[in-house]
């Protein structure tokens, strides 16, 4: 049995959508599960859609997700080049072979002639505007021209494309790993362009030739590519033999939250959540489209939430590490139907992974958030802060709001939560608490808590009535972990200073 080789073949045209990253993930999981290779091949044959910086962006996204290629234009390999634009010279011979064998033809139609043809079809009320077996009989191509006429046009340098010749009244069969047996009627399939006028191949020719030359064994892509499948099956049949064709799987769509259609960037903008892995900056407009990374997601959570959009392992388990995903993943468990995207569920996954991972896994990113706001810190101190508050954080950006009081005394206090029940007895209690804390030599959680309760009892006050004022003195509001954990971490001097400030505010 040949070694499993799967590939992800993105076009460098912009941001990397959730559906694209999930395709990468499923390719990666399948390859690693079967001890195979994961290849990234850049499909940049359509130079009109090429966007500067998009290729680097794609690899940055994959790096962040931990989905590192075994072979690519960045990582090298034995089957390069890994950019289709650098393989241009390879494809012409296969297009020529198809013409020689009667499976393709030269088409000399100008864009204006094709547009005129479509207008005629519209006027005639045709349901199809495709260049198919009906239309090709009336167009300027080598099927209708005499051989010497075709050669004369070629010798004159007349622009042309090469189209596949799809025979009518046939059925093309494909076995899909997710969907089973699929059949296509060739009467609904048009004669796709294989080689463009600039000599570059279209996706249809390039993907088949490259998959063959790179010995790809499995090809996974979104279900939106199903209409192209019959062309690819025919090309495999004509060029290399169906026995050499990779096994195919067409992945279900990621749907809008309401389930009505494929999730798009516009949906994310409208509903207030990202649909790209990382921030994408348009090089022309300089507009930034937000990504999951910059919003405060962990890659572990991002991979996890994408894995279960269309797949499960047959149990109730929801949180999976990469190792568990590799071990449990199978195409048999991928659903046929689309999966609705739920941003609240996505945030739940991130919260679970923030709690699950040790603080040093993401402390550097949290530090960046604080430093961007002008807060400098000690690394070891930050780790203690993260461990103390991570159960309260859903996004990495939450660490600032939930933890800024560990680094800076609150500038304002929630007076409205304290003053209605503030009285002289409480004022005296906190004045005595300052003296008790000044005498405390251990400054440990249990000692602080016990001393606090004993002093409350001595003043005939309930501990519960004093905890809220104490918390607001330390953090500014009604949030945060145990007040005695906070006091322990910020230290004696800072704790006493904040109590004094609280007394000043509440007594005013």
Mean pLDDT for 396-414 is 97
Q: pLDDT tens digit string along 230-245?
A: 999 999 999 999 999 9
Tell me the C-alpha distance between 87 and 213, whole Å: 11
Phi then psi for 361, rounded to 5 degrees?
Answer: -65, -35
3-state secondary structure 238-252: HHCCHHHCCEEEEEC
pLDDT at position 86, please?
94
Instruction: Identify the band that residue 1 occupies on the pLDDT scale cut at 50, 70 and 90.
Output: low
Residue with tokens 């430093």, as numbered in its chain: 371
2 has a pLDDT exceeding 80: no
For residues 506 and 425, the answer to whether their CB atoms sit within 8 Å is: no
DSSP-assigned states of every residue in 179-213: TEEEEEEGGG----EEE-TTSPBPHHHHHHHHHHH
| Residue 256 is among the residues annotated as catalytic for this protein | no
Sign of CA dihedral 452, 454, 456, 458: negative
- Report the C-alpha gap between 343 and 268 in whole angstroms: 10
Pull the structure tokens for residue 186.
């060739």
The catalytic position among 215, 265, 345, 384 is 265
Closest C-alpha among 44, 55, 121 to residue 87: 44
* Whole-number average pLDDT of the chain: 96
Q: Hey, is 219 helix, strand or coil?
A: strand
Tell me which of 40-49, 301-310, 356-365, 483-492 is least confident. 40-49
Model confidence over 271-289: pLDDT tens digits?
999 999 999 999 999 999 9
pLDDT digits (tens, 9 = 90+) for 83-116: 999 999 999 999 999 999 999 999 999 999 999 9
Beta bridge partners of 76: 72
Q: Which of 308, 273, 302, 295 is nearest to 64 (CA)?
A: 302
Cα maximum dimension of the chain: 112
pTM equals 0.93
Q: Cα(217)–Cα(246) distance, rounded to whole angstroms? A: 4
**Which tokens is 292 given?**
């999951």
Instruction: Round to whole Å and give the CA distance between 23 and 393.
Output: 29
């Amino acid at each position: 049995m040949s070694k499993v080789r799967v590939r992800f073949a993105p076009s460098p045209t912009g941001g990397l959508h959730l559906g694209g990253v999930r395709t990468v993930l499923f390719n990666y999981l399948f390859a690693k599960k079967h001890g195979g290779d994961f290849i990234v091949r850049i499909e940049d044959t359509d130079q009109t859609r090429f966007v500067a910086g998009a290729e680097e962006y794609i690899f940055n996204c994959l790096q962040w997700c931990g989905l590192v290629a075994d072979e690519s234009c960045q990582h090298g390999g034995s089957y390069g080049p890994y950019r289709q634009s650098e393989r241009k010279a390879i494809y012409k011979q296969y297009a020529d072979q198809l013409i020689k064998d009667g499976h393709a033809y030269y088409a000399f139609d100008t864009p204006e002639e094709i547009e005129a043809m479509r207008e005629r079809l519209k006027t005639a009320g045709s349901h199809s505007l495709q260049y198919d077996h009906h239309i090709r009989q009336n167009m300027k191509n080598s099927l209708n021209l005499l051989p010497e006429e075709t050669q004369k046009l070629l010798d004159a340098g007349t622009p042309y494309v090469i189209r596949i010749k799809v025979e009518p009244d046939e059925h093309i069969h494909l076995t899909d790993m997710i969907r089973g047996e699929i059949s296509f009627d060739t009467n609904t399939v048009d004669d796709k362009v294989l080689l463009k006028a600039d000599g570059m191949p279209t996706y249809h020719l390039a993907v088949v030739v490259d998959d063959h030359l790179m010995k790809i064994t499995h090809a996974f892509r979104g279900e939106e590519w199903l209409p192209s499948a019959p062309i690819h099956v025919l090309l495999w049949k004509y060029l290399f033999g169906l026995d050499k064709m990779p096994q195919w799987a067409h992945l279900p769509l990621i749907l809008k939250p309401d389930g009505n259609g494929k999730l798009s960037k516009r949906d994310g903008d409208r509903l207030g959540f990202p649909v790209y892995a990382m921030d994408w900056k348009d090089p022309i407009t300089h507009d930034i489209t937000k990504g999951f990374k910059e919003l405060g997601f962990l890659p572990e959570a991002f991979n996890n939430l994408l894995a279960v959009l269309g797949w499960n392992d047959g149990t109730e388990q929801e949180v999976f590490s990469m190792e568990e995903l590799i071990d449990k993943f199978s195409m048999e468990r991928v659903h046929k139907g689309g999966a609705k995207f739920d941003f609240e569920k996505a945030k739940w996954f991130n919260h679970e992974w923030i709690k699950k991972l040790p603080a040093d896994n993401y402390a550097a990113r949290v530090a960046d958030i604080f430093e961007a706001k002008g807060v400098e810190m000690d690394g070891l101190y930050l780790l203690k802060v993260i461990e103390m508050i991570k159960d309260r954080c859903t996004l990495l950006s939450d660490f600032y709001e939930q933890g800024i009081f560990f680094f800076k005394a609150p500038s304002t206090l929630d007076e409205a939560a304290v003053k209605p029940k503030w009285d002289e007895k409480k004022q005296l209690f906190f004045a005595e608490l300052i003296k008790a804390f000044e005498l405390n030599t251990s400054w440990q959680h249990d000692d602080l808590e016990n001393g606090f309760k004993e002093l409350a009892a001595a003043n005939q006050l309930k501990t519960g009535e004093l905890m809220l004022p104490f918390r607001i003195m330390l953090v500014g509001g009604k949030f945060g972990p145990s007040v005695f954990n906070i006091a322990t971490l910020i230290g004696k001097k800072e704790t006493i200073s904040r109590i004094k400030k609280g007394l000043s505010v509440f007594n005013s």
